[in-house]
């Protein structure tokens, strides 16, 4: 990991760059696949599943028999662990429900707001070297609580044309209505346009690589909403002399093993901690099964010495990390001061892994600095706020002239007349 000492503020933007390709590098590939799927539908899906996943499928829809076979393959202990995690995620997201807001803004003018579920949602679950069955819980649980009618799950098949048993177990546990064995750009395109096997949805959720992220952004051009731009995973830890170097190293590596384009950063007011963490990373990475992946990620990562906490907080807010761990005596400064972070983890005994799996918060979070404007997935992500109003005779008499004056000032005379015609009848 590169050690950077007290960087000048002018160099922050360069130091904090993510190791990702620009959209231009991959947009042409995404556009080409979207175009093919929009025209050729299932033929294009099969073509790209063979090209990218190396498998040709007779049917890419998971059958009930496949689900039952998969359940039998998941060890009982793991099933219990998944159920416990689901329970905690359920509890946290159910608590986010809000009741109807009802206000009489003027005598005779009643306005209220209610939330309604998005009817059709698509969940993208990455496969590859680490099938993320935990993401099924993070997306399907709030979708089910919200009351979404169609919950479609897409995930790339392995070389045998199957999905990980744990993904299928979690999907049936959480009420997913249809499971499709398709991944990558073609999955996002399929949920955008709809094909013979993939239902068209109104909103797409889930993390993925840079190609999936760009595909989701392109989907918005065709009237499909997305949760957020969620690309390669990232973690920033802030620490001082009170921190435990081995804990910090383990947290950094927990995100580094996600993929070669992941990024982890330590910001510290202690040069000693930086040296200790650097040594711990070298020691711990040596025994990781995913060492080769973690090493590539660590090469993109940084250890930054900063002279005081106030400056550290400014730098962290500029970066806007997906995950932010605070291991500092001055934790209140960071808790109260942070504005840009997807999810915050506080203290020596709050590893980021807890949020990834079982504490209850959602792990589908904005990356690449998008935490400056986006929230992580939550119950409201699966719902729409709708407003209602009912105006009585008294109400239209109370606000009618206001509407007439404003409509006339804007030159919208039909707007004015819609009120005037009613006022004339009442007067």
Q: At what angle do helices 271-285 and 291-299 cross, to 10 degrees?
A: 150
**Can you read off the two tokens belonging to residue 142?**
């709030």
- Residues whose CB falls within 8 Å of the CB of residue 193, separated by 6 or more in sequence, listed in order: 34, 37, 38, 41, 200, 222
Are the C-beta atoms of residues 325 and 235 closer than 8 Å to each other? yes
The helix (H) or strand (E) run that includes residue 299 is helix 291-299
**Catalytic residue chosen out of the listed positions 257, 323, 363, 404:** 323
Whether 322 is a known active-site residue: answer yes
The DSSP call for residue 289 is T
The span from the CA of 128 to the CA of 155, in Å, is 9
User: Of 234, 322, 352, 404, which residue is the catalytic one?
Assistant: 322
DSSP string, 45-87: HHHHHHHHH----S--BPPHHHHHHHHHHS-HHHHHHHHHHHH
Q: Read out DSSP for 144-160?
A: HHHT-SEEEEEE---TT
69 is catalytic: no
Catalytic residues, which ones? 322-323
């Amino acid at each position: 990991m590169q050690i950077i000492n007290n960087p000048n503020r002018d160099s922050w933007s360069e130091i904090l760059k993510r190791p990702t390709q620009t959209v231009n590098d991959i947009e042409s590939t995404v556009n080409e696949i979207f175009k093919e799927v929009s025209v050729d539908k299932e033929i294009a899906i099969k073509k790209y599943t063979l090209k990218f996943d190396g498998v040709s499928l007779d049917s890419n829809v998971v059958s009930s028999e496949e689900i039952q076979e998969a359940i039998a393959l998941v060890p009982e202990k793991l099933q219990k662990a998944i159920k416990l995690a689901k329970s905690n995620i359920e509890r946290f997201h159910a608590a986010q429900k809000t009741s109807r807001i009802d206000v009489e803004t003027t005598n005779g003018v009643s306005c209220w707001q209610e939330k309604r579920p998005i009817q059709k949602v698509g969940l993208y679950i990455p496969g590859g070297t680490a099938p993320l069955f935990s993401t099924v819980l993070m997306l399907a649980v709030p979708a089910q609580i919200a009351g979404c009618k169609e919950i479609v799950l897409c995930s790339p098949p392995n070389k045998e044309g199957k999905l990980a048993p744990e993904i299928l177990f979690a999907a049936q546990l959480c009420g997913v209505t249809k499971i499709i064995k398709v991944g990558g750009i073609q999955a996002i395109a399929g949920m955008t346009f709809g094909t013979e096997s993939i239902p068209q949805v109104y909103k797409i959720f889930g993390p993925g690589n840079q190609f999936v992220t760009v595909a989701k952004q392109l989907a918005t051009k065709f009237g499909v909403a997305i949760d957020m731009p969620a690309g390669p995973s990232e973690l920033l830890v802030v620490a001082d002399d009170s921190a435990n170097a081995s804990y910090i190293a383990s947290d950094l590596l927990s995100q580094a093993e996600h993929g070669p384009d992941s990024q982890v950063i330590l910001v510290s007011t202690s040069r000693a901690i930086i040296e200790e963490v650097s040594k711990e990373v070298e020691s711990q990475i040596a025994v990781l099964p995913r060492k080769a992946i973690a090493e590539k990620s660590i090469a993109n990562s940084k250890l930054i010495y900063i002279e005081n906490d106030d400056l550290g907080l400014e730098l962290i807010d500029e970066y806007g990390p997906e995950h932010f761990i605070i291991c500092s005596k001055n934790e209140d400064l960071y808790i109260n001061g942070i504005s840009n972070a997807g999810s915050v983890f506080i203290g020596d005994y709050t590893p980021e892994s807890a949020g990834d799996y079982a504490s209850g918060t959602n792990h589908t979070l904005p990356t690449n600095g998008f935490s400056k404007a986006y929230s992580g997935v939550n119950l409201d992500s699966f719902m729409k706020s709708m407003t209602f109003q009912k105006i009585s005779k008294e109400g239209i008499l109370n606000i009618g002239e206001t509407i007439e004056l404003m409509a006339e000032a804007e030159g919208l005379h039909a707007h004015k007349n819609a009120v005037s015609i009613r006022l004339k009848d009442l007067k």
